[in-house]
Amino acid sequence: MKRRQIGSLEVSIIGLGGNNFGWRVDAAGTADVVEAALDEGINFFDTADMYGGTKSEDFLGRALGRRRDEAVIATKFGWEIDPSRRGAHPDYVRRAVDYSLKRLGTDRIDLYQIHKPDPAVPIRDTLGALADIVRRGKVREIGCSNFSAAQLREADAAARDGVRFVSVQNEYNLLHRDPETDVLPECGRLGIAFIPYYPLASGLLTGKYRQGQPIPKGTRLSDRRPTEDRLREIEALVDFAESRGHTLLELAFGWLTTNPQVASVIAGATSPAQVQHNAASAGWELTPDELAEVDRIRQPQH
């Protein structure tokens, strides 16, 4: 599988998200999914301290086990776990990283990301604490998530001791293209890698949701049907992909990985089969004409 750079880290262009671990997938299931990912050439594993009620990190660390050195581990801090574990205050940053290291069963975190901006704490203070844990060898690179272009500029200007964000992780997919307005251009200007989450738009881009067909039971959107405009748009994307011998899933991944600013597309999985399908979907590099056709199909978000 192709690899790209996030700072000094070399990561597979398809990654594995750990948001299902500890919630929809137990420890044994996590081990199966992680092993399948490694066997497919996926080396980038993204989780967060609050996923699965803090079990995701624990399950991921155990699943990697002796194969830890084959993996690039990314995790996040800052989203509320409980009233005493939240935010980006320097004191909490130093505690949070130790909590994550213990749960992951490792001596270093490859990419440590602030999960969302903390308006109560100056970013300069947070960056100071992050620079300290990098110097101590607990973290190799730092990144952020859910940051705007203005917040990226502010953070880069406030970088401490040469330690700066090397990545930003925001929502981005064929149906949600807001980052193209300002965040992606800012990433290009600052040399920051972009990591899209929700690459399949909560399942809308898997091909399971089709016009004129009932919404599958037990899926994420079984309780809220997409609009008819959205379903027509998906149908047009399905037709486009199939006319070129591909699936909608392959289009969703290929469209993202064709963008050189996208370092790795992280997708969750609940089974080895899902991992294998995701990994196999990484091979379509869209031509300029194909990208233009996708733009023509796309309608304003509803």
Cβ–Cβ under 8 Å, residues 235 and 211 = yes
Cβ–Cβ under 8 Å, residues 164 and 139 = no
Cβ–Cβ under 8 Å, residues 14 and 267 = yes
Q: Check whether 127 has a pLDDT greater than 80.
A: yes
- The phi and psi torsions of 16 (rounded to 5 degrees) equal -115, 125
Whole-number pLDDT of residue 283? 87
Q: Check whether 34 has a pLDDT greater than 60.
A: yes
Per the listing, tokens 């881009």 go with 205
Q: How far apart are CA 77 and CA 124, in angstroms?
A: 16
Strands 9-12, 265-268: pairing is unpaired
Nearest C-alpha neighbor of 175 from the set 247, 254, 239, 237: 237
CATH architecture of the region 3-200+259-283 = Alpha-Beta Barrel (3.20)
Q: What is the pLDDT of residues 211-260, one digit of tens each?
A: 666 666 655 554 567 888 888 899 999 999 999 999 999 999 999 999 99
pTM over 0.75: yes
Q: What is the pLDDT of residues 286-295, one digit of tens each?
A: 999 999 999 9
Whole-number pLDDT of residue 103? 98
Q: Which sequence positions are flagged as catalytic?
A: 51
Alpha helices in the chain (DSSP H): 27-39, 55-64, 90-104, 123-135, 149-157, 183-190, 228-243, 248-257, 272-280, 288-297
Q: How far apart are CA 226 and CA 40, in angstroms?
A: 33
Task: Please give the mean pLDDT across all residues of the chain.
Answer: 94
Who has greater pLDDT, 161 or 98?
98
Mean pLDDT of 263-289: 95
Q: What is the pLDDT of residues 168-195, one digit of tens each?
A: 999 999 999 999 999 999 999 999 999 9
Q: Check whether 141 has a pLDDT greater than 60.
A: yes
Q: Taking the domains of the chain in order of start, what are their residue ranges?
A: 3-200+259-283
